[in-house]
């Protein structure tokens, strides 16, 4: 009897039979499942998993705890930036509030080299705008650098043209650039700053601490295009520098510069300087040199242009020393103004060396010795004095000492100890050879005659109105007044510098002429010419000192070369200071031709 399959036959029946048969299989009898796994293998796998988790924990602890600051900095470096907020440098004003130096905001171009993405045409355009060759630009944009300045303190047209290129990785920030409205006229007074806005010369250097201020900072988040997304952290505001008010009068300064520039050109000279001092306060009203420079554009600047000759150049002052010898002789009672001195035959010999005058004058009074600038007469007064007495007087008027002035570069000059003087050296020092001084030192020394015998400190900054100024008493008022009259004679008819006269004002002063030192001797055809004087004689207000270096063309005496510059500067300065004329103006006398006495030097 055949079995009956209710599900029929075919594929479906076969599947049913397979299921039915599988119920009878024993899996435990499988060879694969019957094999035992070694215990060390399972333990090894568990250990590997444990070590992996331990490594993750150690790494997490290192990142989150031990090296968190490092990773924080690295993360911030990719999105956070500290922007410097530059402080505006203080302004420099003259005594009347006129701006001599100020700062203006200008764009500066910088880049992150690895982010710069520009096609060749745009790179060439960028190089052209920056004034660089393609090779120079490629060197600046070295991907190894994280930051590079492309152009600091650029002009606005260049900055706008670069911005229009739309270069990725090229940015602009604001910096401050110094501007000098008075240009070369006041260059040696104000000086200049470098690209980092730090003073390098003049007042900019002398008052660096007061002018510089303190930069601030701002922490920001930038996106990949360099745009500021948001601020974070503390904002530190910039503290601007303090303004400095000088004693200089910009109008007096400009006029003095023009006059010395014209004199250098007229006499085909090497250089020249002018110093103007207010004898009431000791304030420096002008300090001008030629050649000069534009402090805002110092390309191709030479050392000759940069030198502040009025402070740094020292020279033998020559005949400008004679009034001090006369004053010392008067003060000590050795002579009186009318004391006669025999100067004939116009020469004298001391220890084998001959001292001579330009012309023999015969008997001269002390006044006439200064008026005619007699070497012989001056030496005869000086040789009555012990060397120590002369040395103390020279020291008292500031020779051989650095001026106490808030200004870089002022020199001491040379004044040897009196114990080393030989008789011939004492003699030559009396008329200005064997010692040296700067033009500024000479100008200050002459305040002793303008202020009734005392020498006052000088300053480059404006003094508060009404502040009293005390000095060092060197001579009595009587002696100072008497020497003023001698100086007036020297600058008048019959003196060595009649061209120093000023219409409407009484003036007095002393010319000087000297051969220039060259090696161990003196050049036969190279001279320095100068004139130092004061005005008005009745009530002195200013001292003006003028020096012209190496005038050529046959005219070299101080009265003829420096005297006219003194006259012009005094006239303009007194008018600007509102000083009333003390003489009746007589045009016919001004126009009259006067002959100067040839100076002995």
C-alpha distance from residue 383 to each of 40, 54, 326, 334, 361 (Å): 119, 102, 12, 11, 20
Q: Do residues 562 and 548 touch, judged by C-beta distance below 8 A?
A: yes
Place of tokens 């940069």: 306
| CA neighbor of 464 nearest in space, from 207, 287, 285, 281 | 281
Q: Classify 183 as helix, strand or coil.
A: helix
Q: Are 492 and 498 in contact (CB under 8 A)?
A: yes
In sequence order, what are the residues at sequence separation of 6 or more whose Cβ sits closer than 8 angstroms to the Cβ of residue 588?
A: none
Strand residues in 368-453 grouped as ranges (E): none
Burial 59-75 (b: 16+ CB within 10 A, else e): eeeeeeeeeeeeeeeee
Assess contact for 511 and 531: CB atoms under 8 A.
Answer: yes
Q: Provide the CB-side half-sphere exposure for 506 (13 A, CA).
A: 15
Distance CA 570, CA 559 (A): 15
Contact 572, 289 (CB under 8 A): no
DSSP-based three-state secondary structure for 483: helix
- Examine the residue annotation and report whether 319 is marked as an active-site residue of this protein: yes
Locus of tokens 């103007």 = 276
Instruction: Round to whole Å and give the CA distance between 112 and 1.
Output: 98
* Residue linked to tokens 């660089």: 132
Rounded distance, CA 529 to CA 538, Å?
Answer: 27
Q: What is the 3-state secondary structure (H, E, C) of 347-364?
A: EEEECCEEEECCCCCCEE
Spot the catalytic one: 247, 250, 273, 319. Answer: 319
What's the burial of 26, exposed, middle or buried (CB within 10 Å: 0-12/13-18/19+)?
Answer: exposed
CA distance 592 to 587: 9
Please state the length of the chain: 601
Query: Residue 149: which of 194, 107, 105 has the closest Cα?
Result: 107
Pair 527, 268: CB distance under 8 Å: no
Strand segments, DSSP code E, in 4-130 are: 80-85, 92-93, 99-111
Spatial neighbors of 73 by CB under 8 A, at least 6 apart, are: none
Cα separation, 17 vs 35, in Å, equals 31
Instruction: Find out whether 533 and 507 touch, Cβ atoms under 8 Å.
Output: yes
The pair of three-digit structure tokens given for residue 444, joined into one six-digit string: 């200050």
Tokens of 161: 């043209």
- Residue 548 DSSP class: E
List the catalytic residues. 319
């Amino acid at each position: 009897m055949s079995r009956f399959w209710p599900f029929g036959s075919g594929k479906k029946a076969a599947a049913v039979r397979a299921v039915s048969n599988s119920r009878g299989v024993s899996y435990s009898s499988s060879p694969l499942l019957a094999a035992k796994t070694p215990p060390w293998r399972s333990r090894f796998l568990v250990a590997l998993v444990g070590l992996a988790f331990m490594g993750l924990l150690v790494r997490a602890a290192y990142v989150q705890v031990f090296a968190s600051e490092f990773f924080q900095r690295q993360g911030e470096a990719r999105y956070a930036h500290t922007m410097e907020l530059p402080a505006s440098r203080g302004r420099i004003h003259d005594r009347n509030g006129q701006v001599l130096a100020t700062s203006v905001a200008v764009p500066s171009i910088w880049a992150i080299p690895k982010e710069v993405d520009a096609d060749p045409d745009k790179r060439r355009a960028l190089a052209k705008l920056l004034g660089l060759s393609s090779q120079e630009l490629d060197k600046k944009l070295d991907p190894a650098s994280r930051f590079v300045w492309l152009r600091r303190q650029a002009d606005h047209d260049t900055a706008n043209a670069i911005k229009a290129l739309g270069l990725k990785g090229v940015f602009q920030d604001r910096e401050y650039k110094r501007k000098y409205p008075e240009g070369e006229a006041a260059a040696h007074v104000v000086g200049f700053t470098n690209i980092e806005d730090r003073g390098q010369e003049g007042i900019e250097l002398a008052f660096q601490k007061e002018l510089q201020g303190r930069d601030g900072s701002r922490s920001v988040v930038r996106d990949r295009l360099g745009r500021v997304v948001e601020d974070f952290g503390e904002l530190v505001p910039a503290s601007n520098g303090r303004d400095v008010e000088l004693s200089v009068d910009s109008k007096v300064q400009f006029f003095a510069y023009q006059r010395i520039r014209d004199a250098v050109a007229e006499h085909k000279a090497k250089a020249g300087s002018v110093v103007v001092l207010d004898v009431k306060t000791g304030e420096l009203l002008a300090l001008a040199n030629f050649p000069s420079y534009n402090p805002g554009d110092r390309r191709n600047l030479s050392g000759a242009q940069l030198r502040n000759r009025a402070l740094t150049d020292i020279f033998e002052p020559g005949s400008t020393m004679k009034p001090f010898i006369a004053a010392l002789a008067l003060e000590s009672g050795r002579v009186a103004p009318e004391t006669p001195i025999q100067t004939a035959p116009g020469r004298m010999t001391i220890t084998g060396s001959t001292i001579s005058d330009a012309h023999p004058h015969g008997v001269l009074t002390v006044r006439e010795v200064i008026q005619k600038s007699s070497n012989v007469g001056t030496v005869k007064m000086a040789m009555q004095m012990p060397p120590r007495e002369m040395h103390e007087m020279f020291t008292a008027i500031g020779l051989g000492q650095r001026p106490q002035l808030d200004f870089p570069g002022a020199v001491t000059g040379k004044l040897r100890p009196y114990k080393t003087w030989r008789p011939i050296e004492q003699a030559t020092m009396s008329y200005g050879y064997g010692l040296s001084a700067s033009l500024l030192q000479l100008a200050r020394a002459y305040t002793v005659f303008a202020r009734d015998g005392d020498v006052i400190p000088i300053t480059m900054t404006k003094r508060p109105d009404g502040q009293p100024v005390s000095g060092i008493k060197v001579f009595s008022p009587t002696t100072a007044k008497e020497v003023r009259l001698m100086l007036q004679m020297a600058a008048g008819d019959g003196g060595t510098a009649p061209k120093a006269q000023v219409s409407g004002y009484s003036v007095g002063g002393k010319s000087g002429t000297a051969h220039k030192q060259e090696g161990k001797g003196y050049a036969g055809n190279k001279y320095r010419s100068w004139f130092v004087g004061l005005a008005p004689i009745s009530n002195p207000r200013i001292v003006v000192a003028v020096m012209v270096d190496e005038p050529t063309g046959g005219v070299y005496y101080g009265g003829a070369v420096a005297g006219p510059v003194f006259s012009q500067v005094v006239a303009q300065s007194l008018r600007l200071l509102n000083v009333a004329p003390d003489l009746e103006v007589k045009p016919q006398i001004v126009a009259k031709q006067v002959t100067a006495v040839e100076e002995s030097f």
